[in-house]
Structure 1
Amino acid sequence: MSQFLEKINFADRTPELSHRFGVFFFAGGLIPNPIDIRFQKVSGMSTEVQLETINEGGQNLHTHRLPSKVSYTNLVLERGYVTSRIPSPLNLEFNLAFSRFKFYPSNVLVTKFNEAGNPIGAWLFLKAYPVKWSVSDLDAQSNSVAIDTMELAYTRFQIMRI
């Protein structure tokens, strides 16, 4: 009986490490950006159900908490400052947003890879657009990499299992 239970145990006994991932931008939702795929860090992949509290007349012992809407945090991407001669489409998109107030939402796919480099899961962020862009401090007394931090808002995201 224990062998049977072992085979149906769905818990992952060897969780995957978090350092194998890629970020893929799809301009207009369809055309992939082959240049801006490497990032040092991705954060902000979270969602939460907002609750509405309703008081029931005459009921003083508890309130009703009902789901009202879903909210998302911004997707934050960090990478080394890009100095390539090939222009970064992502940098151009961020520059358009902040210098001309022009927004062109794109879909963003964050893919998790296993040790062999095969995709094992992904998160699809729909209609993402720039909301914040910053560069790390320039410090003559340190010897660290200059980091671009790019923040994107999006309408929603879907978890994908491959």
Structure 2
Amino acid sequence: MLDVLKAINFADQEPTLSHRFGVFFLAGGLLPNPIDLRFQKVSGISTDVQLETINEGGENLHAHRMPKKMNYNNLVLERGYVSSNKGRGRLFSPLNVEFNATFSLFKFNPSNVLVTLFNEEGVPMGGWMFLKAYPVKWSVSDLDAQSNTVAIDTLELAYTRFQILRI
């Protein structure tokens, strides 16, 4: 009986660690891209409500603050530099092709992106589904002859909205 009560008590649960996650690009909204799913960092998962202030005539003590629309930050993904070279055992990156098409040809192909948080056994704990995401920025870390660090690709995506998934 005590184990059941402990399982129900949310205050006893340990917080989920943030270092076990996956990023899945869903082609056509359904099929995950099996190559581009490992990233070292994901940021920009946030939203807020933009408010409109309405002043009431003759009322100087307060104003009405009404919800106007949702604001979403861009989803920012960071990973080690990935070459699209098929030779020497390297994997072809569909994500690099999509970013190249956007920035070289100004062609956009929005897709859904699922960011999933896993527990220590690799079981999904929750996640975020970003709908109609498309590239808006791509950068590579500084190249420095005096440094011995990994070159980092930073990929930034805009999206129409996101849904929070809790399991």
Whether TM-score is above 0.5 comes out as yes
Contact 1:104 1:129 in 2 (8 A): yes
Map residues 67-146 of structure 1 onto 2, 5 A cutoff: 67-83=67-83, 85=86, 86-146=91-151
2:43 equivalent in structure 1? 43
Q: 1:106 to 1:10 in 2, by over 3 A?
A: same
Q: Structure 2: state its 5+ residue gaps.
A: none
- RMSD over aligned Cα atoms: 1.7
1:59 Cα deviation from its structure 2 partner: 0.2
Q: Secondary structure at the match of 1:11?
A: helix
1:3 Cα deviation from its structure 2 partner: 9.1
Q: 1:33 to 1:57 in 2, by over 3 A?
A: same
1:158 equivalent in structure 2? 163
Number of matched pairs: 161
Using the size of structure 2 for normalisation, the TM-score is 0.91
Cα distance in structure 2, aligned partners of 1:92 and 1:4: 51
1:21 equivalent in structure 2? 21
Using the size of structure 1 for normalisation, the TM-score is 0.94
Identity of counterpart residues, as a percentage? 76
Q: Structure 1: state its 5+ residue gaps.
A: none
